[in-house]
Amino acid sequence: MKAVLEEIAPPAPAGQKLVRRFVFVLLVFLAALVGSLAGLLLVYSTDLPQIEQLETYCPSSSTDLYDIHGRVIGSFALQRRVVASYGDFPNPLLNALISVEDKEFYRHWGINVWRIAGAAYRDIESRGKVQGASTLTMQLARNLFLSPDRSFHRKIQEALLAIQIERRFSKEQILTLYANQIYLGHGVYGFEAASEFYFSKPAKQLTVPEAALIAGLPKSPALYSPINHPDRALHRRNLVINGMLEDGKITTQQAEQARNAPLGLKLARDPNSLGPYFVEEVRRYLENKYGTDQVHEGGLKVYTTLDMDLQRAANSAVLDALAAYERRHGWRGHLENILAEGQMLAGYQHPDRDNIDVGAYTHALVISVSPASVTLKLGHYQVTLTQADIGWTRQKLAVLLSAGDIVYVKVLALEGSKASVGFEQDSGAQGALLAIDNATGGIRAMVGGRDFELSQFNRATQALRQVGSSFKPYVYTAAIDQGARPDDPISDTPVSFQTPSGPYSPHNYDEKYEGAITLQRALAQSRNIPALKLADRLGIRTVEDYARKFGITSPLPPYLPVALGAAEMTLLEQTSAYTVFPNDGIRVVPRMITKVEDYDGRVLEENYPEVKDVISSRTARLMTAMLQGVVQHGTAIAASKMNIPLGGKTGTTNDFTDAWFVGFSPSLTSGVWIGFDEKKSLGPKETGARAALPAWVQFMSAALAGKDPGQFQPPPELPPRQSLQSLDTSDLAPAADESH
């Protein structure tokens, strides 16, 4: 039987047995390998994010603030990003990106196996971890869902996610997600934001060398920063251009021209820098109402009442007025010196180093000093000062300045690497300006101090300062509203008032007395005695009640000196209150925001003017005419040169601590305050007319230039006078017993 079987099936050769065993072992190994890989994939995929999230993915984006003309004036963001669509990215940018980051992007299915294998071999050979070889889709997966750590575990998850992304989304969708998500240095995310930041234009307008520069940044934004490392950035850009040439995306001539082009950076200014105090007020409001996360990540659109043109004029007006004040009082010295503080000249940067535009006031560093000239460093610019440039200080150049000094300058011109400046002084004097549209209550301009980078305290909205004679219009309003006339006589003679703390014997600013004068003249010349006599007759609480009607909310102590402005209030309160006069007795509540929209364009809030009746139109028109007299022939006569309808009131406090001017045209009301934060004297004769009024005139001249100024409503005709009795003993009804 055995022989028969052997004859039918002869024994297999030894070689075949060996092959069978090898195949069996190989199959077992492959099965084990597949099982292990399946197990590993199961382990690595158990905690993978759900790709479905991408269908509703909304990247963290900036909240933008717009002025009344639709121009961006500020933004809030944890990640500075402008979300764009696929059509917003030009072909040179997409071609550059694919050439340098993922040449097989349109052909692979999420991963490039051969590229990964080659990179893995090199890493194993060098005993490093897996790195490089990521496709654009893998980079997107990492940026969206995974940590940046470099490990085999993360790499496998990255590949799995990339495959899922490729199965669910088109190549255009993947590129769009990537182009909006990638980090490109200096807090900028996405190509659209990068184009606006580095070149101050939308991505659609990028040239080939500009597109190549941006496309080269994802590999290492810090290493190839064109701001901090221009040589590296230039080398990286040219590598990208070479890659585009190799891939046939550009011609040899285009590549040659692109490689020879300079970096051509035109860095965008921080949009918050024009009106930083206003932007900060808006931020506080938004965060209080919508929360920090929504404001900094939700991509809100905030439409504000600010006018960039008026804001720019306001900035210049305040800083120019402060510079004029500084020069009037001569050089005071006390410069900060970084060498004395242990710092080095090389690499030093002042906090306001980015504020380098023609017309800007900023700080510069003294690099070297010689008897004939001084060299300053102003950002990336070099400045040379001569003795003529510091003539107003009446000091010798070599005595005045030393290497390491921080000096205050006004930028006059910029050309190449050179700058021309005016030598100024910052002794600590501060200023604030606020402008409000009479018809809508919209705040058109807000200056809260000399330099936001050095002090964020807003002197327009937060500082409580004595208002001096700018309070007097409330006294006269109360009198006019209760039957007095602008042409009523009142006695400007010495007087003493009995108060609970003893006799109070006030005096006029000039220590002179004019005898019987009209209310009109008493207000125009800012006579103290008539204002006090009126307030005493009316009752100081009556005056306080009128001030409250005008929107004054700060504490007003019931003492007679309040009639002369001994009370403290904010510039916002005072400026808003004055809008009542040109508005025919109606106050429009000041506002900063007209509308807020969410990321999808849904309106979250919309604000309309809120109006309140304050005084009768008769009283408002009479007071407007009286306040016009202040400009036409009173303490603010310097404003009359504008030759348009204007009214307002100066204010000066004891010892010249605070200087005010608040005034209005038919369309716009603005107020200016000048003083020191520590409430020390500005110096002799630094009145509201001298210190504050010039800033107001400069601002209003710019704000109203080329516009129809309008006309005030004419005051009502008054009946013929029946008596010339002085208001010292008039029939104005006094309030019951009041303490002054």
- DSSP code string of 249-296: SS-HHHHHHHHHS-----PPPPGGGSSHHHHHHHHHHHHHHH-HHHHH
Lowest mean pLDDT of 80-89, 159-168, 196-205, 476-485, name the range: 159-168
Q: How far apart are CA 573 and CA 328, in angstroms?
A: 30
Q: Which pair of tokens denotes residue 160?
A: 């799995």
**Helix 472-481 and helix 540-549, axial crossing angle in degrees, nearest 10:** 100
Tell me the per-residue pLDDT of 280-291, one tens digit each, with 9 for 90 and over. 999 999 999 999
pLDDT, tens digit (0-9, with 9 covering 90-100), for 629-653: 999 999 999 999 999 999 999 999 9
Q: Which residue has the tokens 């019951």?
A: 736
Angstrom distance (rounded) from CA 476 to CA 586:
17
Identify the DSSP state of 458: -
Pairing of strands 593-597, 647-652: unpaired
Answer for the pair 44, 160: CB distance below 8 angstroms, yes or no: yes
Q: Is the pLDDT of residue 105 over 70?
A: yes
Helix (H/G/I), strand (E/B), else coil: 409: strand
CA-CA-CA-CA torsion for 626, 631, 636, 640, nearest 10 degrees?
A: 180
The DSSP H or E segment spanning 491 is strand 489-492
pLDDT band at 140 (very low <50, low <70, confident <90, very high): confident
Q: What is the pLDDT of residue 347?
A: 76
Backbone dihedral region for residue 706 (phi beyond 0: left; psi -120 to 50: alpha; all else: beta): left
Report which of residues 646 and 45 the model is more confident about: 646
- Token pair 């380098």 is at which residue? 356
pLDDT over 60 at 128, yes or no: no
Helix 528-538 vs helix 540-549: angle between axes, to the nearest 10 degrees? 100
- For residues 98 and 206, is the Cβ–Cβ distance under 8 A? no
Report which residue type is found at 99.
S
**In whole angstroms, what is the distance from residue 476 CA to residue 34 CA?**
95
Closest CA relative to residue 162, chosen from 276, 306, 56, 54: 54
Tell whether the model's pLDDT for residue 130 goes beyond 50.
no
Q: What is the pLDDT of residues 52-76, one digit of tens each?
A: 666 667 777 889 999 999 999 999 9
Rounded Cα distance, 663 and 650, in Å: 8
Structure tokens at 301: 């659109």
Please report the pLDDT score of residue 152 as a whole number.
Answer: 59
* pLDDT-based confidence at residue 50 (cuts at 50, 70, 90): low
Instruction: Show the tokens assigned to 123.
Output: 């890493």
Phi, psi of 76 (to 5 degrees): -125, 130
Res 6 pLDDT > 50: no
Query: Contact 665/439 with Cβ under 8 angstroms?
Result: no
Whether the per-residue pLDDT at 725 is higher than 90: the answer is no
DSSP 598-610: -TTS-EEEE----
Strands 361-369 and 611-613: unpaired
Question: Poorest-confidence range of 124-128, 153-157, 243-247, 544-548?
Answer: 124-128
Mean pLDDT of 432-449: 98
Strand order in the sheet with 658-664: 443-447, 429-437, 668-676, 658-664, 647-652
- Give percent of the chain with pLDDT exceeding 90: 70
Report CA torsion sign: 561, 566, 568, 574.
positive
| Res 586 pLDDT > 80 | yes
What confidence score (pLDDT) does residue 733 get? 41
Q: What is the mean pLDDT of residues 157-183?
A: 88
Residue-level pLDDT at 14: 65
pLDDT top residue among 115 and 21: 21
Whether the Cβ atoms of residue 578 and residue 664 lie closer than 8 Å to each other = yes
Q: Note if 101 is an active site residue.
A: yes
Query: Which of the two residues, 659 and 148, has the higher pLDDT score?
Result: 659
At 1, the pLDDT band (50, 70, 90 cuts) reads: very low
Rounded Cα gap, residues 499 and 491, in angstroms: 21
Q: Judge whether residue 220 has pLDDT over 50.
A: yes
Integer-rounded Cα radius of gyration of the chain:
37
Q: What are the φ and ψ backbone dihedral angles of 108, each rounded to 5 degrees?
A: -90, 170
Give dist(CA 216, CA 645) in Å, integer: 59
Question: What mean pLDDT is predicted for residues 617-628?
Answer: 98
Quick one: tokens of 139? 């980079």
pLDDT in tens, 477-513: 999 999 999 999 999 999 999 888 889 999 999 999 9
Residue 319 reports pLDDT greater than 60: yes
The dihedrals phi and psi of 669, each to the nearest 5 degrees, come to -115, 135
> According to the model, what pLDDT value does residue 151 have?
58
Residue 179's closest CA among 156, 206, 159, 158?
Answer: 206
Q: Residue 494: its pLDDT value, please? A: 95
Please tell me which residue in 61, 62, 75, 101 is annotated as part of the active site: 101
* pLDDT band, very low/low/confident/very high, at 300 (cuts 50, 70, 90): very high
Which of 299, 106, 322, 139 minimizes the C-alpha distance to 219? 139
pLDDT in tens, 369-411: 999 999 999 988 899 999 999 999 999 998 999 999 999 999 9
Q: What is the phi/psi pair of residue 497, to 5°?
A: -110, 140
CA distance 635 to 513: 16
Q: Give me the pLDDT at residue 730, please.
A: 46
In this structure, are strands 406-415 and 418-424 parallel, antiparallel, or unpaired?
Answer: antiparallel
Q: Is the pLDDT of residue 724 over 90?
A: no
Catalytic residue flag (residue 469): yes
C-alpha pair distances (Å), 96 with each of 202, 212, 220, 361 = 17, 6, 16, 41
- The answer, yes or no, to whether residue 537 has pLDDT greater than 60, is yes
CB 572 within 8 A of CB 590: yes
Could you say which of 469, 470, 526, 670 is catalytic? 469
**Greater model confidence, 78 or 7:** 78
Query: What average pLDDT score do residues 684-704 get?
Result: 97
What does the chain come to in residues? 740
Q: What pTM did the predictor assign?
A: 0.83
Residue 77's SS3 state is: coil
Q: What is the pLDDT of residue 125?
A: 57
Structure tokens at 607: 């604000």
Which candidate, 162, 161, 152, places its Cα nearest to that of 40? Answer: 152
Mean pLDDT for the chain? 88
Q: What whole-number distance in Å separates Cα of residue 79 and Cα of residue 704? A: 39
Question: What is the average per-residue pLDDT within 559-564?
Answer: 95
Flag whether pLDDT at 272 surpasses 90.
no
From residue 628, alpha-carbon distances to 68, 473, 621, 648 in Å are: 29, 12, 10, 7
Helix-, strand-, coil-residue percentages of the chain, each rounded to 5: 40, 20, 40
Summarize the confidence of residues 235-259 as an average pLDDT: 96
CA distance 582 to 664: 7
CA distance 532 to 664: 25
Q: Is the dihedral of CA 208, 213, 214, 217 positive or negative?
A: positive
Answer positive or negative: Cα dihedral of 717, 720, 726, 729: negative
pLDDT of residue 731: 44
Residue among 325, 435, 349 nearest 669 (CA): 435
Query: What's the whole-number mean pLDDT along residues 267-293?
Result: 91
d(CA 249, CA 95): 7
